[in-house]
Amino acid sequence: MAIDIVINQRHLQIQLKQLETVWHTVVNGYNLSQAAELLHTSQSSLSKQIAALENQLKADVFTRQGKRLTGLTEIGKKLLPHIEAIFAEIRTIENLSLDFNNAQAGTLTVATTHTQARYVLPQIVKEFRAKFDKVNLVLQQADPESIAQMVIRGQADIGIATESLLNNDVLRCHRYYDWSHVVIVPKDHELAAFADVPDGIDLPTLASYPLVTYHGGFTGRGAIDKAFAAAGFSPEIVLAALDSDVISTYVSAGLGLGIIAEMAYQPKHYPDLVAIPVSHFGRFTSWIAVRDDSEIRKFGHEFIKLCQSQFDSF
């Protein structure tokens, strides 16, 4: 994105390139060297852009330790949402132009969790590729909070997750699908008799066994912890993982009972395991999010439509 525009006001003369430098510096964790590499320029050039902006504002935008940037000052924090909004509008203009010239080609970046990418999206990706074979589809896997920030900052066009997306007014969220957890146990386990029985195992019984489940902040782990705490139980979590496949592997190995998202139960891949549906931890909604003040490519809207139609028959 080439930017060389000067904004003239009564007291300020700001170049969009200066604002772009601030944005890329924040996105890259205040690492000027990394930001410079992505912008195909030098670190000293970025430092000059920042200095010029701070000189115009008569205030520091970044906090510093020596020459190292460590964060945003108070005015920097207030400026960032406006900078992000400016570049959201620029991306909208760019997307409108790209769609006008060739609506069938381009790049679509989707940020999502491992669970969505591994268990929910494969069929959607297959259908999307069949319709848009000239679109480069990029799946970026991250935790829910990072997914929200990636969409807000324009690093991803679309975000898909259960947690975090609804917590930000900048995002426009579309309902995707609802889900619950299941408890997985080996077929020869004493609780296997309750396979496919809704709430066949209660919380006290579940809390009496070693458990294998998700790492904090992922796939409803917070709700699992709250449900046990509210009932007065402190179960032994012998292993926490990000990946449902890892949880299933260790349940197969006899490490404990597993608690995973229902869409992640894969009986074909783990024929030695059975699942017990449970409602103790609540019902969850996965959401599809885009930035509310910008427009994604037309094929991005088609991707969302495919997702929303995926569970229409259920």
Average the pLDDT over 177-193 and give the result.
Answer: 96
Please tell me which residue, 161 or 6, carries the higher pLDDT value: 161
pLDDT tens-digit series, residues 242-261: 899 999 999 999 999 999 99
Q: What is the pLDDT of residue 169?
A: 85
pLDDT tens-digit series, residues 150-164: 999 889 999 999 878
Domains in the chain, CATH or no CATH each: 6-85 (1.10.10.10), 104-178+285-309 (3.40.190.10), 181-282 (3.40.190.10)
3-state secondary structure of 15: strand
Please give the structure tokens belonging to residue 139. 């799946």
β-strand partners of 62 = 72
Where do we find the tokens 């930001």?
Answer: 35
Q: What is the DSSP string of 270-284?
A: -TTEEEEE--TT--E
Confidence check: pLDDT of 47 > 70: yes
Average the pLDDT over 142-152 and give the result.
Answer: 92
Q: CB within 8 A of 140, min separation 6: which ones?
A: 109, 110, 111, 112, 150, 155, 156
Where do we find the tokens 């809390």?
Answer: 207
Average the pLDDT over 96-100 and give the result.
Answer: 93
Eight-state DSSP code of residue 275? E
pLDDT tens-digit series, residues 52-61: 999 989 999 9
pLDDT tens-digit series, residues 75-91: 999 999 999 889 889 88
- Residue 209 near residue 257 (C-beta atoms within 8 A): yes
Q: Which of 11-20, 264-273, 295-304 has the lowest mean pLDDT?
A: 11-20
β-strand partners of 276 = 183
Q: What is the pLDDT of residue 168?
A: 83
CB atoms within 10 A of CB 138: 12
Where do we find the tokens 């009986």?
Answer: 267
Q: What is the pLDDT of residue 314?
A: 46
Mean pLDDT over all residues of the chain?
92
Average the pLDDT over 97-103 and give the result.
Answer: 94
Please tell me which residue, 298 or 165, carries the higher pLDDT value: 298
Residues in the chain: 314
